[in-house]
Amino acid sequence: MDPRSLLKGLHPLEIKVLLRYSPGEPLNVATLARDLGYVEGHANQAQAWLSSKALAAETGRTSMTVYELTPLGRSWLESGSPEERLIAYLAEHGPAALPAVCQALGIEQKDAGSAFGRLSREGVLAMTPDKLVAVADAAKSRRTEALRALLAKAAADGGMLDDAALDAPERALMGEIAKKRGAGDAAFRAAERETVTWALTEAAAAVSALLREEGVSGEELGAVTQEMLESGSWKGASFRSYNIRSRPARLIPGRRNPYVQFLESVKDKLVSLGFEEYDGGLVETEFWNGDALFMPQFHSARDIHDVYYVANPTKAASIEEPYLSRVAETHENGGATGSRGWRYGFDREFTKRLVLRSQGTVLSARQLPKASVPGKYFGIARCFRYDKVDATHLSDFYQTEGIVLGEDVNLRTLLGFLEMFAVEVAGAKEVKYVPGYFPFTEPSVEVHIRHPVLGWFELGGAGIFRPEVTEPLGVSVPVLAWGIGIDRMALMALGLNDLRELFSYDIENVRLRRALQK
Amino acid sequence: MPKIEVNERLFFELVGRRMEDTELEAALETAKAELDGWGEDSADGGGRLIKIELNDTNRPDLWSTAGIARQLRVRDGGTIPEYPFFSREGDERPSEYTLLVDSSIQKLRPYMAGFVIAGKPIDDAMLRDAIQTQEKLCANFGRKRRVLSMGMYRIDLIKWPISYKGVQPDAVSFVPLQMDEPMTLRRILAEHPKGKEYGHIIADSPTYPILVGADDGVLSMAPIINSADIGAVQVGDRDILVEFSGTDMATVALATSIVACDFADAGYEIRPLRVEYDFDTPFGRAVTFPYYYQTPASVDAGRISKLLGESIGPEKAIEALARMGVRAEAHGQHVRAWPPEYRDDFIHAVDLVEDVMIGRGMASFKPERPRDFTIGRLSPIESFTRKAKDVMVGLGYQEMIYNYLGSGKDYIERMNSSADSIIRISNPMTENFEYVRPSILPGLLQSASVSSKAPYPHRIFEAGKVAFLDEAQNYGTSTRQRLGFLCSHQMADYNELAGVVSALLYYLGEDYTVEDGDDPRFLHGRQARILVQGVNIGVFGELHPAVLENWGINMPSVACELDLDSLL
């Protein structure tokens, strides 16, 4: 690899090694500790990083035993080994029974027993005729002295002793007290350790030369720290260059759902056109879901295979009057609306049956009794249909509907609104209107648009509410009613082609979904 | 909405000229119909089949080749067809055929009407079309034969007069179509495919309907099945009886008129049928069909202009109606219109207004910008929900949106919850969509459950509606706007979520307190009810390991659900 391209990615730990040593020179943890002051971790990192760039290579491995000072060893160093404490106690208090000494010193009897055994063999302690333990010759306690020296040496060397650094008596003593396993009750833990020897490769020479040429020392500053800024220590120093092309870490931000944002953008657009939003419950009665919309109770769209019925309870307690009576009469004979009605017996029990709202127009009907004139209202309502769920059908989904009340609204104003929706909401360039059929509007039209991507498709249906719908609900002015289908636009805006994806449970899928197109 | 196939040759013959596809498509719009595609070439070389979808369920006259062709022909400037074979009140056509309707049928399926096709043998295209018309009329308009059914019979085998009556289920046997041995009416209902399909219409009655000749030869067991001989019409048959039976006189009469006009348009002679009832009917005791029973509809020119937004005087309105096949005349500013023989859809004056609109053509109405000024605004709950969602995003949460229907397994069992207040659907399509969600938490848990491969931490939320039983309400149910959120990672705990709840409610401007909760979805002692001014508005805490296990979630998770409506 080109030495110059390596330069940017070098860490100060590597740089200092490259500047200090020549290719072939044997290196290990101890060398780097001695010359560069690296702790073991840093030395290993420098070796690993340099090796990954083929600037260093391993040259050999040696195995040796090391002894690590245990917490018990450290406590002996601080407050004395059992032997030392035994001698000190007896020297101070005179001969005593061993159990009494154990209790006074808080030493377990077996430890005190073995300490006494060792010390009496050395001749330091002795048993009096009346079975008391006493100091015989304190000066003979050489083993105790040697142990203390070993503990102190280990502590001074960072708690670690190499086998190679011990002399023969020390090694013998260590052999007695160090344990490989279960070292919790020993002063030292013995372990086998491998030492790796490595060296810079020939390729490193060019990099080292380049470092010198560029004046890089490895002493450049890393992160900008608070301390640096407070003290001004950054002045005159240089900062290490980072590899700006390395892959950034992935962030998982808090984020809005793109489909919900799409729905909100439609709402905002309709608000900007002067529409006020309405809302309502998910459970409806047959009355509002169909009867109030002048759909005869025998209409095929009100079949068990189209609408979901609520099982518990099955009926509303009552239907609001005077609307119920007026609607019933209108179905039967037209009532006061000038219609001849559907000419059948209106079922006042059926009308109370509870269903899941199957069309957004329900909310329009509910709005009529409280609507202002002039008035413009809309809703994006979750609706429910008895449909097999697939790529183009959902059992619950959104419908976008609205109404316009006004003394002077008419077919041409309706077309004007549809044109606005086509252009403002759907971004259409071409619009056409064809006669349509909906049970609750007359006249009825469909609006078709030529979408820049989707081509011609039906954007929605609309019409003027039949007097049989408006008059029983207390409205005497014409009411334009419209519904627009925005699902296809939503799918396109989100780059999807399956309606089920709009309501995805998959967190990663939603996280990675990109935002709306411009 | 019915879809039909029409024979291309027959269709353009009836329209009066050929049309290119684009022209046909545009023309079909005036019949609220759409070109749905092209079918196979018909076997006898009669040309392709055109597939058409009809949108207007109040215009059954358009559900046939002749019906659509007529609409297009007249709309194209053709004259309004004359059907002189219609009888009218006080103006009856002579008839050589008589049908007697017995009082025994009055309670069961009282009305029958019909006519005879003569003049030339029936050809393949027209027979196919008639069978299709029969299917569509009886399925859609006739509500699967409950209200209307139709039969066709070979007249040379019939002994006149014929009788329509109710008989004991075992009193009569005949060989039905598709069978080769005589069967009693009871057996037909139990065993014949059509008996099984439509038997429920008459099954509750002590007597079953039957149509028989003067020699007791059976024509059919209306509305179930025809006899295999008299009731088996084939290509080449010359004189054919067409009969309709049903429960509503106007429906039966209209269907009779529609099919008679279709055959008349195709060049057949229509001979009337006199029907003598043993009881009173809305049209009298003796009616000769086809019968024009419709009454004129009227509309003020002022109403037309007001609704269409264009000044349209009576004369222009009459012109437009004529292009829809509707004869009309002016009485001052008043327009009086007679529905064509084959239509009965002028329920209100506005129905005439629509015909004027289509007659003039959509292109003649220029869109007009609305002039009324109104102030637009989001609903209060929508505005408030958006504020809450903004805070959640700032707190690092990803917004989700879920379906509102689900299974008892997800909403009840896996949630360690009771079914006491959950709304169940009585006619679910599958058990996967049997309940309305009572809470947002099952959706969040399902997400966590299917997303174990998505990098952690998971922090998700949804704002939306839930619904549950509520006896205090008129509908026995309540719908509420809720906010739910879930946090899932190795260190997720009560304290983390408490911080989120605190921040959220701070920015929503609410002071709150917490108290110990006993929600089985959460761990005891690590859950809190949230109280605002003493009202419980939500719950949060560490999800119970049993709930997590139910969902197959192996990551510590905490969740919260708040009632936004209560905070509004």
Nearest to A62 by CA among A195, A180, A174, A237: A195
How far is the C-alpha of A109 from the C-alpha of A163, rounded, in Å?
A: 32
pLDDT per position as a tens digit, B479-492: 999 999 999 999 99
pLDDT at B45 > cutoff 70: no
> Per the CB < 8 Å rule, is A356 touching B55?
no
Q: Could you give the percent of chain B with pLDDT greater than 90?
A: 84
> DSSP letter at B104?
G
pLDDT of B388: 98
pLDDT of B39: 77
Is residue A116 included in any domain, yes or no? yes
Cβ B303 vs Cβ B294: under 8 Å: no
| B421 interfaces chain A, CB cutoff of 8 Å | no
| A321 interfaces chain B, CB cutoff of 8 Å | no
Task: Find the mean pLDDT for residues B298-321.
Answer: 95
**A419 min Cα distance to partner chain B (Å):** 7
Chain A residues touching residue B246 (CB < 8 angstroms): none
List chain B domain ranges: 1-80, 82-289, 297-361, 380-567
pLDDT at B413 > cutoff 70: yes
Is residue A469 included in any domain, yes or no? yes
How far is the C-alpha of B462 from the C-alpha of B404, rounded, in Å?
A: 12
A211 and A129 co-located in one domain = no
| A429 interfaces chain B, CB cutoff of 8 Å | no
pLDDT of A1: 62
Domain with A190 in it: 69-194
Q: Could you give the percent of chain A with pLDDT greater than 70?
A: 99
Q: In chain B, which among 215-254 make CB contacts under 8 A with chain A?
A: 250
Alpha helices (H) in B395-474, listed in sequence order: 408, 441-450
Q: What is the DSSP string of B300-343?
A: EHHHHHHHHTS---HHHHHHHHHHTT-EEEEETTEEEEEPPTT-
Please, which pLDDT band fits residue B36 given cuts at 50, 70 and 90?
Answer: confident
Task: Find the mean pLDDT for residues A388-404.
Answer: 92
How far is the C-alpha of A452 from the C-alpha of B355, rounded, in Å?
A: 33
- The residue type at A440: F
Which residue spans within B155-198 are E strands per DSSP? 162-167, 173-174, 183-184
Chain B residues touching residue A269 (CB < 8 angstroms): none
A212 and A105 co-located in one domain = no
Cβ B289 vs Cβ B87: under 8 Å: yes
Q: Which residue has the higher pLDDT, A494 or B542?
A: B542
> Per the CB < 8 Å rule, is A478 touching B393?
no
| Number of Cβ within a 10 Å radius of residue A451 | 19
- The residue type at B186: R
Task: Find the mean pLDDT for residues A60-89.
Answer: 86
Chain B residues touching residue A304 (CB < 8 angstroms): 427
B425 → closest Cβ in A280, A356, A409: A356
pLDDT of A301: 72
> DSSP letter at A232?
T
Beta bridge mates, B33: B54
Biggest CA–CA distance in chain A, Å, is 133
Pairing of strands B148-154, B240-246: antiparallel
A297 and A344 co-located in one domain = yes
pLDDT of A125: 85
Q: Which residue has the higher pLDDT, B232 or A182?
A: B232
B377 → closest Cβ in A256, A277, A433: A277
In 3-state terms chain B splits into helix, strand, coil percentages (rounded to 5) of: 30, 30, 40
Which of A505, A509, A516 to mutate to test binding with chain B, by most B CBs within 10 Å of its CB?
A: A505
Return the residue of A nearest to B139 by Cα. Answer: A300
> Per the CB < 8 Å rule, is A409 touching B469?
no
| B472 interfaces chain A, CB cutoff of 8 Å | no
Strands of the A160-162 sheet, one edge to the other? A160-162, A56-69, A188-200
pLDDT of A71: 86
Least reliable range by pLDDT among A385-399, B504-518, B523-537: A385-399
pLDDT of B301: 95
A342 and A474 co-located in one domain = yes
How far is the C-alpha of B140 from the C-alpha of B147, rounded, in Å?
A: 10
> Per the CB < 8 Å rule, is B357 touching A411?
yes
B380-567 matches B82-289 in CATH topology: no
B297-361 CATH:
3.30.56.10
pLDDT at A518 > cutoff 60: no
- CATH value at residue A351: 3.30.930.10
Q: Give the residue carrying structure tokens 């029973």.
A: B293
pLDDT at A30 > cutoff 60: yes
pLDDT of A415: 96
B380-567: CATH architecture: 2-Layer Sandwich (3.30)
pLDDT at B43 > cutoff 70: no
Which range, A147-156, A389-398, B434-443, is most confident?
Answer: B434-443
Return the residue of A nearest to B375 by Cα. Answer: A274
Return the residue of A nearest to B354 by Cα. Answer: A443
pLDDT of A154: 85
Structure tokens at B468: 């549950």
> Per the CB < 8 Å rule, is B399 touching A433?
no
pLDDT per position as a tens digit, B139-197: 888 888 889 999 999 999 999 999 999 999 999 999 999 999 999 999 999 999 999 99
CA–CA distance from B212 to each of B189, B225, B263 (Å)? 18, 13, 25
A49 and A177 co-located in one domain = no
Nearest to B467 by CA among B522, B408, B419, B404: B404
Biggest CA–CA distance in chain B, Å, is 94
B460 → closest Cβ in A339, A432, A507: A507
Whether CATH 3.30.56.10 fits B1-80:
yes
A121 and A88 co-located in one domain = yes
| B431 interfaces chain A, CB cutoff of 8 Å | no
Please report, in angstroms and rounded to a whole number, the separation of the first and last CA atoms in chain A.
44
Chain A residues touching residue B63 (CB < 8 angstroms): none
Q: In chain B, which among 44-83 make CB contacts under 8 A with chain A?
A: 55-58
Number of domains in chain A: 3
- The residue type at A431: V
For B524, how many CA atoms within 13 A lie in the half-sphere containing its CB? 2
A12 and A108 co-located in one domain = no
Q: In chain A, which among 226-285 make CB contacts under 8 A with chain B?
A: 250, 252-257, 259-260, 264, 267, 270-285
Which range, A134-148, A197-211, A493-507, B535-549, is most confident?
Answer: B535-549
> Per the CB < 8 Å rule, is B370 touching A416?
yes
Task: Find the mean pLDDT for residues A444-472.
Answer: 90
Average pLDDT, chain A: 89
| B566 interfaces chain A, CB cutoff of 8 Å | no
| B470 interfaces chain A, CB cutoff of 8 Å | no
Average pLDDT, chain B: 93
Is residue A150 included in any domain, yes or no? yes
Which range, A32-36, A148-152, A363-367, is most confident?
Answer: A363-367
How far is the C-alpha of A356 from the C-alpha of B171, rounded, in Å?
A: 47
Is residue A517 included in any domain, yes or no? no
pLDDT at B46 > cutoff 70: no
pLDDT at B247 > cutoff 80: yes
pLDDT per position as a tens digit, A428-444: 888 999 999 999 999 99
Task: Find the mean pLDDT for residues B344-361.
Answer: 95
pLDDT of A178: 84
Beta bridge mates, A309: A355
Chain A residues touching residue B457 (CB < 8 angstroms): 252
Return the residue of B nearest to A353 by Cα. Answer: B475
Return the residue of B nearest to A279 by Cα. Answer: B379
How far is the C-alpha of B283 from the C-alpha of B295, rounded, in Å?
A: 12
Which of B427, B483, B564 to mutate to test binding with chain A, by most A CBs within 10 Å of its CB?
A: B427
Total residue count of chain A as it appears in this document: 518
Please, which pLDDT band fits residue B345 given cuts at 50, 70 and 90?
Answer: very high
Which residue spans within A250-395 are E strands per DSSP? 276-277, 283-285, 354-356, 375-384
B309 → closest Cβ in A389, A396, A411: A411
How far is the C-alpha of A105 from the C-alpha of A95, rounded, in Å?
A: 14
A455 and A399 co-located in one domain = yes
pLDDT at A183 > cutoff 90: no
Cβ A169 vs Cβ A150: under 8 Å: no
Least reliable range by pLDDT among A129-133, B78-82, B132-136: A129-133
Please, which pLDDT band fits residue B346 given cuts at 50, 70 and 90?
Answer: very high
Which of A307, A373, A507 to mutate to test binding with chain B, by most B CBs within 10 Å of its CB?
A: A507
Is residue A114 included in any domain, yes or no? yes
B82-289 CATH:
3.50.40.10
For B421, how many CA atoms within 13 A lie in the half-sphere containing its CB? 14
| B350 interfaces chain A, CB cutoff of 8 Å | yes
Is residue A245 included in any domain, yes or no? no
Total residue count of chain B as it appears in this document: 568
Q: Could you give the percent of chain B with pLDDT greater than 70?
A: 99
- CATH value at residue A108: 1.10.10.10
pLDDT of A517: 59
Return the residue of B nearest to A317 by Cα. Answer: B474
Is residue A253 included in any domain, yes or no? no
pLDDT of A264: 96
Please, which pLDDT band fits residue B332 given cuts at 50, 70 and 90?
Answer: very high
pLDDT at B358 > cutoff 70: yes
Q: In chain A, which among 490-509 make CB contacts under 8 A with chain B?
A: 502-508
A343 and A436 co-located in one domain = yes
Return the residue of A nearest to B372 by Cα. Answer: A374
A29 and A137 co-located in one domain = no
Q: Which residue has the higher pLDDT, A496 or B43?
A: A496
> Per the CB < 8 Å rule, is A507 touching B424?
no
pLDDT at A139 > cutoff 80: no
A462 and A483 co-located in one domain = yes
Cβ B442 vs Cβ B452: under 8 Å: no
Which residue spans within A357-415 are E strands per DSSP? 375-384, 396-405
How far is the C-alpha of A363 from the C-alpha of A281, rounded, in Å?
A: 9
Is residue A238 included in any domain, yes or no? no
Size of interface A-B (CB pairs under 8 A): 270
